[in-house]
Every structure is written in C-alpha cells, then in structure tokens.
Amino acid sequence: MKYDSLVIGATFFLYLLAILLIGVFAYRRTHDLADYLLGGRKLGKWVTALSAGASDMSGWLLMGLPGYAYLAGLEAAWIALGLFLGTYLNWRLVARRLRCYTELAENSLTLPDYLENRFADKTHLLRILSAVFILLFFLFYTSSGLVAGGKLFNTVFGIPYHQAVIAGAAAILFYTLIGGFFAVSWTDLFQGLLMALVLVLVPVAAVIKLGGWQPARDAVMRSDPALLDFFQQTDGNTLTAVGIVSLLGWGLGYFGQPHILARFTAAASLEKLTSARRIATSWVFVSLFGALLVGLTGNGLLSQTLPEADAERIFIVLVELLFHPVIAGICLAAILAAIMSTADSQLLVSASVVTQDFYRILGKRRANQIELVWVGRIAVVGVTLIALLLAWNPQSRVLELVAYAWAGLGAAFGPTVLLSLYWRNMTGKGALAGVFVGGVTVVVWKQLTGGLFDLYELVPGFILSIVAIVLASWLDRSKKSEVVNGFDRYLSSLNSLKG
C-alpha cells in the first residue's frame, strides 16, 4: 500500500497545530525564570510521570530500539531490562529526595545550581564544570532527535534530508521558545500517551497479520532462530559477559539525566511523586515491550530483509504495510512526538544552564526576571543551531548518538547525585572530582576498542566517578562538619514530610 501523502500530511499538520497551541497557552502562564525552567514546581502526577518518560524515551524508542531488535532480536531485551530497572530505581531512590533537597537548597532551578548550593561552593567551579558537561553531551543528544526527524520526513514524504531536519528543528524550537517548561511538560503528557498507544497498536496489528502469537513466533524463527535467543547473536557468536553488562549498564544512566531529574524537582509535592512513580514505570514497561515486538515481528512480516543502514526505519515500514493512511499518519506522528518530547526538554535544560549557570554567575549581573527569560530563549535558539550542524550528516545513527550522550551525562552526574542525597560525608571537592572523572572517562573510553574497552563507556565512567567522589571527600575531611550539619537539616526536613 502506498502512502496517501495528502492524508498523512493533514494528520501531521493537525498534530503540530495542537502542539503549537499548547505552546501559546503556556506562554501566557510564564511570568518568571522559575516558571520558564520548572513550571513553578506545580506539575501534577500524570504530567510529572509521562513528561519524565516521554522526555527520556526519544526518537530512539520508535526507531533506534526497534531497529536494534530487528537486527539482533532478543539481545536488545537486555537494554530494555536495564532501562526498566533504571527507571524504577531512579523514581525510588532519587525522585523524592531530590525534590525536597532542591527546594531547601535555595530553591535550586538547575542541576549545577543544586550541586553548588548543596556543597556551598563559593568558587563556582562545580557549577561551571557541570554546566560545560551538560552542554557538551546535550548537543549530541539533541542532534540525535533531529537526525530521527530528518529520517522520518525523508522516508514518509520524500523531503530531502537536510530540509527535513530544518523543518523538525523549527517546530520544536517554536513551542519550546515561547512556552518554556509548561509547554514542554504538557506536550510531553500528550506525546507520551500517543507513543504508548502506537507501541501497543503496531505490534498487535503485526501479530494479527501473522495469524497469532504462535505463527508470529514461527515466522521469526524461520527468519533466524538466533533472534529469539537471549544469549545467541545473529552472527553465530555467543553474547559475552562484557556485552550483557554493557547492555544492562544503560540503566545506570538514569541517575544523571538532567532533563529527567528536572521533572522530579518540578512536581507539586512528594505525594504526587509517589503516584507518578507507578504511572511512569507502567508506561516504560509497556513502551519498551512494544518497541521490542515491533523489531521482532518485522522479521516475520517482511519478505525482503532491510539493509542494516535502514533498520531504524522498521517502525515506519510496518506502519506503511499494516494501516490505512489516516491511522498510519497517527502512528507516524508518534515518532515525531517521541523526537519532540526529548529534544524540547534538552533544549530547555541547555537554556537553563546558559541562563542560570553562565549568564547570572559569570556575568555577575543582577538581571531582572524578564531579561533572564529572554536570555533563556536566545540560548534555546543557539543550542538548536549547533545541534542542527551536528545532525547535518544523513548517515548518522540515532542509537549511537543517544548512547554517547546518555553515557556522558549518566557517568558525570549519576554517582554525584546519588551520593549527594544519601552520603552525609560527601564534600564539594568530592562532587567536583566525581563529575570530572565520570565525564572524562566516557570521552576517553569511547576512543578505545578491544577487550575490556568494548565495555559500554557508561559502566567504567560510573564506577570511577564513585571512586573519585569517595577518595576526594575523604581527603577533604576539613569540610566534613559543615557538610554533615547541612545534610542533617535536609534529612530532618525530608522525614517531616509525608507521602
């Protein structure tokens, strides 16, 4: 069945119109920097949960992960398992404590802001180093979304890749620019529901097309029995321990993702976070399971195997094969939703870093709230343009870009955030060492190959960051008394709150 471009185009247009209207509505509710960056800490449980999930699961959920499952089969399930466990533990271990501590720490609006206030760092070194790493890795992360958008519009409408990337960037830029956190969070709620819906609809339709679960399984087995083996790779080799740890290690990244952590700090109350955790983990389970099934059933449905370079288009190909153009348009809009829901969050965090951590601190200016909001908007434009340049190569792989950025942020900030919330003797120098060692390890490890260096760079980065924090904090024992007092006040406040 050929796409009816007019019908699908109309569906896309209506979807984009709805998103842009949300941005206009949010613009009217944005009065100061706290509104623009955190929505005034007023998010309810559904918006908090699905906004965190949707901003996490970018275009790779509907393109990168199904493409990996299409090529490697159940090997991809190890990533899904790591991500599910990481999601649950992030909500369980970090969400409530970070929401409480960021408010107590002088109402910190950004992750670098929180770290500086948590450790009373008067030198601003911790803030600046954190901001540099966030901007560096978010540029790659945002560019992955633009690459996914370019491939989407190129495949569906035949628009040249470069024009498609520009169009996608412009749409994301508009509602992020004017609406800030309100627009980003409410569009993420809508987009998260749409993503979950199509990740149930597409694999179910594929299984029905194949004649049921058993015929679908048989069809995949005929394609390649290794696709249904958790430990057997499609090239005939057995998945190694390094490979399994690398795939599961993706879950470690959650503790250090600023765009996800921002949802925790923006929740209206600790009670909202408890309910949001159940919603978010359920959403993630359904979405990851559906993405795996898309890739697996694609092997049973397609008569001709997609080349490896086109594997990330498997979701689009199945939608073309299975649905009427109206339904196809809705399903393909879900890819756009996944792309936009992450890219907008990353742009907003990048803007918050430029505004809160560079403009106010390095410039040493007493800027008013209106000025700061507009500085944030200008930063959104600047980051978008740089990410556009990184996404200009049509051969870029979505999953590879996401993997690098995810590892960098997870290793630089994950151990630092966790220990800052649980270890009373952690010091500012310990945090500085953890951020530096974690981030640099990822950058260096990525350049090395062979043997142990085939391990996903997030894992060694995370481990070495913990070691650096512990050693540096122990050597900085002169600060221990001051830190313990501040930590005890935080624990006292946390324990006094219910929910």
In the predicted structure, residue 39 carries a pLDDT above the cut 60 = no
Dump pLDDT digits (tens) for 288-324. Answer: 999 999 999 999 898 778 887 778 889 988 988 898 8
Say yes or no to pLDDT of 372 above 80.
no
Packing angle of the helix pair 161-210, 314-322 (nearest 10 deg): 60
d(CA 83, CA 294): 18
How many CB atoms within 10 Å of residue 445? 21
Q: Among 123-132, 265-274, 486-495, which stretch is predicted with the lowest mean pLDDT?
A: 486-495
Residue 423 has pLDDT above 60, yes or no: yes
Q: Residues near 324 by Cβ (< 8 Å), separated by ≥ 6?
A: none
pLDDT band at 363 (very low <50, low <70, confident <90, very high): low
Residue 188: pLDDT over 60: yes
Please check the confidence at residue 352 and state whether its pLDDT lies above 80: no
pLDDT for the residue numbered 185: 63
How far is it, in rounded angstroms, from Cα 453 to Cα 252? 18
Question: Is pLDDT of 411 > 90?
Answer: yes
Q: Does the structure show a pLDDT above 50 at 76? A: yes
| Residue 239 and residue 226 in contact, taking contact as beta carbons nearer than 8 Å | no
DSSP tag of 232: B
Comparison of pLDDT for 29 and 326, the residue scoring more: 326
Burial of 223 (0-12, 13-18, 19+ CB in 10 A): buried
Residue 34 has pLDDT above 60, yes or no: no
Mean pLDDT of the chain: 81
**DSSP readout, 305-369?**
PPPGGGGGGHHHHHHHHHS-HHHHHHHHHHHHHHHHHHHHHHHHHHHHIIIIIIITTTS-----H
What's residue 175's pLDDT? 60
Q: For the residues 124-152, what does the mean pLDDT come to? A: 84
Q: What is the pLDDT of residues 236-252, one digit of tens each?
A: 788 999 999 999 999 99
Q: Two tokens at 391?
A: 């996404």
CATH number of 5-399: 1.20.1730.10
Which of the 8 DSSP states describes residue 258? H
Which of 1-15, 59-73, 400-414 is predicted least confidently?
A: 1-15
In this structure, what token pair is assigned to residue 169? 């960037």
> Quick one: pLDDT at residue 398?
67
Question: 35-49, 199-213, 262-276: which range is least confident on average?
Answer: 35-49
> What is residue 300's predicted lDDT score, i.e. its pLDDT?
87
2 pLDDT band (50/70/90 cuts)? very low
Q: Give the pLDDT mean for 417-422.
A: 94
Query: With contact defined as beta carbons under 8 Å apart, do 490 and 104 qualify?
Result: yes
For residue 481, pLDDT beyond 50:
no
pLDDT at 431 over 90: yes
Q: Which of 16-25, 112-121, 348-357, 440-449 has the highest mean pLDDT?
A: 440-449
- Percent of the chain topping pLDDT 90: 30
Measure CA of the first residue to CA of the last residue in the chain; give whole Å: 52
pLDDT of residue 499: 41
Quote the CA–CA distance of 465 and 430 in Å, as a whole number: 9
pLDDT at 99: 87
Per-residue model confidence (pLDDT) at position 296:
94
Residue 87 confidence class, pLDDT cut points 50, 70, 90: very high
Is pLDDT at 482 greater than 60 in this prediction?
no
Instruction: State residue 167's pLDDT score.
Output: 81
